[in-house]
């Protein structure tokens, strides 16, 4: 313990040494205009901009796990000032990135970091370079008509889910701190014409890069080919060393496919898979109106804005990722031959299909994929409302012999409809136990490593939000501790594994969310 603690430095101390780097700013074309008003920017990858100070920054939460990776100690008052955007430390060169994107299938033109500001990069204890980025830090030239701020509820959701995803083993941006601003933010949460003030907050997000598909798209769309090439060269040099342009694109396709398998295997629904919300590193980025499948339903979306079209529902995610990769391919046509880009899209499909077959086999505790068995289960599950997470977790406990009732008993916790017949599921379970019997007792332990017991269910998020808004951080802190070990039983926290209670079915924030954040 002492040795590790010794290596830790305070954020403010980094400023004294050669602590901060700014490779994005150093290597890429800057917006020559420094005016902080909404405007179209050209021939640039970013605009230099500082956070707008807030009234009373207060540390609400901190990720010890990430702090340790970065070699940072818990922040004192001065560091909290920096994490709230009130102080730019020496050596930091803050910027907002320029990007565009396809939103809900349509080209939306320039978007950009409208409320996110990267402060600087630091070198983590594992040698990796990590950007520190504040979300909700004030207006930038990319804010369009919005205020550059974020509310506490959405910031808490991003902070906690980033870390929960990391502990689940999913590639993701991370979150270091949650800082209350002491300032209200006006939001119309239900889009019903009743805006009201809510507490504001800022998350410090951390990732090797926050570059999205849309950073390339905006340059290609405006025919800024020199900047496009420089951005590609930078991303390859920093994050895909040794790759040709074509190899790099294919690697992005491969990583994105594996990311989709992770989301699908865990029942995670991102909710807004616009091309500006897909990371060039293949990590989960931009936690907004996301959610976790409760009752298994491929058409389910947590995003009320998407309730009509269901473009970003659970079952569409793999197809949408490929559509987004095709838009990225169009942007990269000036750099990469068409055939190579098409190869990448095929690689995406092959990688996804193969890895998804394997993931389903692992979830079922099978030594090799059995597509028919997996498909029939998913069909049976969609018949009566069954909790996706709990079903797979409890499947490990199904006895290999016994009556229908004995087979169903461990799974009861997953059923939202108490007295449903489950005939189809029982028939499936009979086939299943025959199939897994030869594998013996090792099955359960293997399954528990891939089927989490604890996920960041929307109603749990809402409970943490309600408590924190009332000044109580203990709900959040307990959840953070439990979600750091999502595959462990932790019997003392059993109630945090429970399926969504009925009171939460239609409560705002507990089942569906608007984009208002
Ligand atoms: P999102 O759908 O949350 O990914 O946001 C789409 C775009 O809108 C991004 O460019 C964001 O930076 C921007 N944006 C969202 N909310 C705000 C806000 N409150 N202030 C400024 N820009 C915002
Ligand atoms: Mg976004």
Task: Enter the pTM of the model.
Answer: 0.97
- Cα four-point dihedral sign 189, 191, 194, 196: positive
Q: Is 148 in the pocket of ligand 1 (CB under 6 A)?
A: yes
The ligand with the least distance to the CA atom of 173 is: 2
Tell me what the mean pLDDT of segment 428-436 comes to: 96
Report the C-alpha gap between 101 and 105 in whole angstroms.
9
- Cβ(293)–Cβ(278) below 8 Å: no
pLDDT at 7: 59
Which ligand lies nearest to the CA atom of residue 114 in the structure? Answer: 1
pLDDT band at 6 (very low <50, low <70, confident <90, very high): very low
Residue pair 140/112 in contact (Cβ under 8 Å)? The answer is yes
CA–CA distance, 460 with 44 (Å, rounded to integer): 41
Quote the ligand 1 centre to 222 CA distance (angstroms): 21
pLDDT band (50, 70, 90) for residue 199: very high
Q: Does the Cβ of 286 fall within 6 Å of ligand 1?
A: yes
| Ligand 1 contact via 277 beta carbon (within 6 Å) | yes
From the candidates 276, 286, 306, 370, which is the catalytic residue? 276
For 241-269, what is the mean pLDDT?
98
Ligand number with the minimum distance to the CA of 97: 1
| Residue 90 scores a pLDDT above 50 | yes
Run of H or E residues at 26: helix 23-27
> Does 336 have pLDDT greater than 80?
yes
Evaluate: CB of 315 within 6 angstroms of ligand 1. no
Which range (13-17, 93-97, 371-375, 394-398) has the least confidence? 13-17
Name the closest-CA residue to atom 15, ligand 1: 114
**What pLDDT score was predicted for residue 439?**
81
Q: Ligand 1 atom closest to Cα of 272?
A: 2
User: How far, in Å, from the CA of 127 to the mean position of ligand 2?
Assistant: 28
Are 163 and 456 in contact, with CB atoms under 8 Å apart?
no
Residue holding tokens 């504001």? 200
Rounded to the nearest angstrom, the distance between the alpha carbon of 39 and the centre of ligand 1 is 15
Q: How many CB atoms lie within 10 A of CB 294?
A: 27
Host H or E run for residue 228: helix 225-239
Q: CB neighbours (10 Å) of residue 80?
A: 20
Mean pLDDT of the chain: 96
Give me the pLDDT at residue 9, please: 86
Q: What is the pLDDT of residue 418?
A: 83
Whole-angstrom distance, CA of residue 456 vs CA of residue 458: 6
Burial letters for 140-152: b for 16+ Cβ neighbours within 10 Å, e otherwise? bbbbeeebbbbbb
Alpha carbon distances (Å) from 89 to 12, 16, 62, 149: 7, 9, 19, 21
Name the pLDDT band for 1 (thresholds 50, 70, 90).
very low
Q: H/E/C letters for each residue in 339-358? A: HHHHHHHHHHHHHHHHHHHH
Under DSSP, the state recorded for 482 is: H
Would you call 209 exposed, middle or buried from its count of C-beta atoms within 10 A (0-12, 13-18, 19+)? buried
Ligand 1 site, residue 111, Cβ cutoff 6 A? yes
User: Which of 393, 505, 463, 428 minimizes the C-alpha distance to 168?
Assistant: 393
- Angle, helices 152-168 vs 458-469, to 10°: value is 130
Torsion sign, CA atoms 382, 168, 283, 514: positive
Which ligand has its closest atom nearest to the C-alpha of 278? 2
Residue 313, pLDDT above cutoff 90 = yes
pLDDT bin (cut points 50, 70, 90) of residue 346 is very high
Using an 8 Å Cβ cutoff, are 95 and 49 in contact? yes
pLDDT of residue 465 exceeding 90, the answer is yes
Site to probe by mutation for ligand 1, drawn from 95, 102, 114 as the one with most ligand atoms within 8 Å of Cβ, is 114
**Nearest to residue 456, comparing CAs of 435, 486, 434?**
486
Q: Are the C-beta atoms of 212 and 278 separated by less than 8 Å?
A: yes
Instruction: Single out the residue of 103, 101, 99, 138 nearest to residue 117, CA to CA.
Output: 138
* CA of 143 relative to ligand 1 center, distance in Å: 7
- Over residues 54-79, mean pLDDT: 97
Pocket test for ligand 1, best of 47, 49, 111 (most atoms within 8 A of CB): 111
3-state secondary structure 98-120: CCEEEECCEEEEECCCCCEEEEE
Distance 183 CA to ligand 2 centre (A): 23
Go through the chain and tell me how many residues it has: 517
Annotate 280-301 with DSSP letters as a single string: TTS-B---SS-EE-SB--TT--
Contact 63, 163 (CB under 8 A): yes
Q: Give 233-238 contacts, CB < 8 A, sequence gap 24+.
A: 234/23, 234/24, 234/27, 234/28, 235/209, 235/211, 235/280, 237/27, 238/23, 238/129, 238/208, 238/209
**CA of 159 relative to ligand 2 center, distance in Å:** 15
CA-to-CA distance for 218 and 278, rounded, in angstroms? 14
Ligand nearest to the CA of 100: 1
Q: Is the pLDDT assigned to residue 17 strictly greater than 70?
A: no
Looking at the chain, the whole-number percentage of residues with pLDDT higher than 90 is 91
Q: What is the mean pLDDT of residues 435-459?
A: 94
Nearest CA to ligand 1 atom 14: 114
Instruction: Quote the CA–CA distance of 93 and 177 in Å, as a whole number.
Output: 20
Ligand 1 binding pocket includes 163 (Cβ within 6 Å): no
Q: Is the CB of 288 under 6 A from ligand 1?
A: yes
Rounded Cα distance, 156 and 131, in Å: 20
Give Cβ neighbours of residue 115 (< 8 Å, ≥ 6 apart): 135, 136, 137, 138, 139, 140, 143, 146, 147, 148, 149, 150
Distance in Å, CA 420 to ligand 2 centroid? 41
Is any atom of ligand 1 closer than 6 Å to the C-beta of 115?
yes
Q: Kindly give the distance from the C-alpha atom of residue 422 to the centroid of ligand 2, in angstroms, as a whole number.
A: 41
- Atom of ligand 1 minimally distant from the CA of 288: 3
- Ligand 1 atom 4, closest CA: 277
CA geometry: angle 13, 18, 21, nearest 5 deg = 105
- Lowest-pLDDT range of 153-167, 275-289, 496-510: 496-510
CA–centroid distance, 513 to ligand 1, in Å, is 16
CA-derived radius of gyration, the chain:
23
CA 263 to chain centre: 9
Mean pLDDT of 204-221: 98
Question: What does the pLDDT read at residue 441?
Answer: 81
User: Ligand 1 pocket check: which of 103, 105, 115 to mutate, most ligand atoms within 8 Å of Cβ?
Assistant: 115
Q: Which atom of ligand 1 lies nearest, measured to the CA of 149?
A: 19
Q: What is the pLDDT of residue 19?
A: 87
* Residue 407 pLDDT greater than 90, yes or no: yes
Closest by CA to 222, choosing from 444, 40, 367, is 40
H/E run at residue 8: none
Ligand 1, atom 7, lies closest to the CA of: 111
Instruction: Please tell me the residue having the least CA distance from ligand 1 atom 13.
Output: 114
507: Cβ contacts below 8 Å, ≥ 6 apart: 459, 462
Q: How far apart are CA 84 and CA 204, in angstroms?
A: 8
Q: Say yes or no to pLDDT of 101 above 70.
A: yes
Q: Is 113 a catalytic residue?
A: no
Among 210-224, 263-277, 431-445, 454-468, the least confident range: 431-445
**Cβ–ligand 1 contact at 180 (below 6 Å):** no
- Band of the pLDDT at 3, cuts 50, 70, 90? very low
């Amino acid at each position: 313990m002492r040795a590790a603690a010794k290596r830790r430095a305070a954020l403010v101390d980094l400023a004294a040494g050669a602590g901060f780097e700014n490779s994005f700013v150093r290597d890429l074309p800057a917006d020559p205009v420094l005016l902080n008003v909404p405007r179209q920017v050209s021939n640039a990858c970013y605009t230099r901009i500082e956070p707008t100070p807030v009234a009373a920054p207060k540390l609400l939460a901190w990720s010890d796990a990430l702090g340790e990776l970065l070699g940072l100690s818990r922040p004192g008052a001065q560091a909290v000032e920096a994490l709230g955007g009130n102080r730019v430390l020496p050596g930091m060169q803050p910027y907002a990135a320029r990007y565009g994107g396809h939103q809900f299938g349509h080209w939306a033109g320039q978007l950009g970091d409208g409320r996110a500001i990267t402060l600087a990069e630091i070198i983590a204890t594992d040698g990796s370079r990590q950007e520190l980025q504040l979300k909700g830090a004030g207006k930038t030239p990319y804010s369009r008509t919005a205020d550059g701020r974020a509310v506490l509820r959405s910031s808490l959701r991003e902070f906690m889910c980033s870390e929960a995803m990391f502990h689940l083993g999913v590639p993701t941006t991370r979150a270091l701190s949650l800082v209350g601003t002491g300032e209200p933010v006006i939001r119309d949460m239900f889009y019903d014409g009743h805006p009201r003030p809510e507490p504001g907050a800022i998350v410090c997000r951390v990732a090797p890069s926050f570059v999205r598909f849309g950073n390339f798209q905006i340059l290609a769309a405006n025919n800024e080919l020199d900047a496009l090439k420089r951005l590609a060269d930078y991303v390859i040099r920093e994050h895909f060393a040794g790759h040709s342009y074509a190899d790099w694109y294919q690697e992005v396709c491969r990583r994105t496919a594996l990311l989709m398998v992770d989301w699908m295997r865990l029942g995670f629904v991102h909710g807004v898979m616009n091309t500006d919300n897909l990371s060039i590193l293949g990590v989960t980025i931009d936690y907004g109106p996301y959610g976790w499948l409760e009752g298994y339903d491929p058409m389910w979306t947590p995003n009320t804005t998407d309730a009509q079209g269901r473009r970003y529902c659970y079952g569409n995610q793999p197809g949408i990722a490929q559509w987004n990769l095709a838009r990225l391919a169009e942007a990269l046509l000036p750099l990469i031959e068409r055939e190579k880009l098409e190869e990448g899209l095929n690689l995406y499909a092959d990688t996804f299909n193969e890895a998804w077959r394997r993931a389903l086999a692992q979830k079922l505790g099978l030594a090799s994929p059995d597509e028919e068995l997996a498909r029939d289960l998913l069909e049976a599950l969609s018949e009566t409302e069954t909790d996706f997470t709990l079903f797979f977790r409890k499947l490990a406990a199904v006895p290999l012999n016994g009556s229908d009732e004995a087979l169903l008993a461990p799974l009861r916790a997953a059923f939202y409809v108490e007295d449903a017949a489950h005939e189809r599921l029982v028939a499936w379970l009979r086939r299943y136990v025959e199939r897994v019997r030869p594998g013996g007792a090792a099955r359960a332990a293997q399954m528990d490593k891939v089927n989490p017991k604890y996920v960041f269910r929307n109603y749990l998020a809402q409970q943490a939000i309600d408590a924190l808004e009332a000044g109580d951080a203990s709900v959040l802190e307990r959840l953070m501790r439990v979600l750091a070990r999502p595959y462990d039983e932790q019997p003392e926290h059993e109630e945090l594994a429970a399926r969504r209670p009925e009171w939460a079915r239609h409560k705002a924030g507990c089942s569906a969310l608007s984009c208002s954040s």
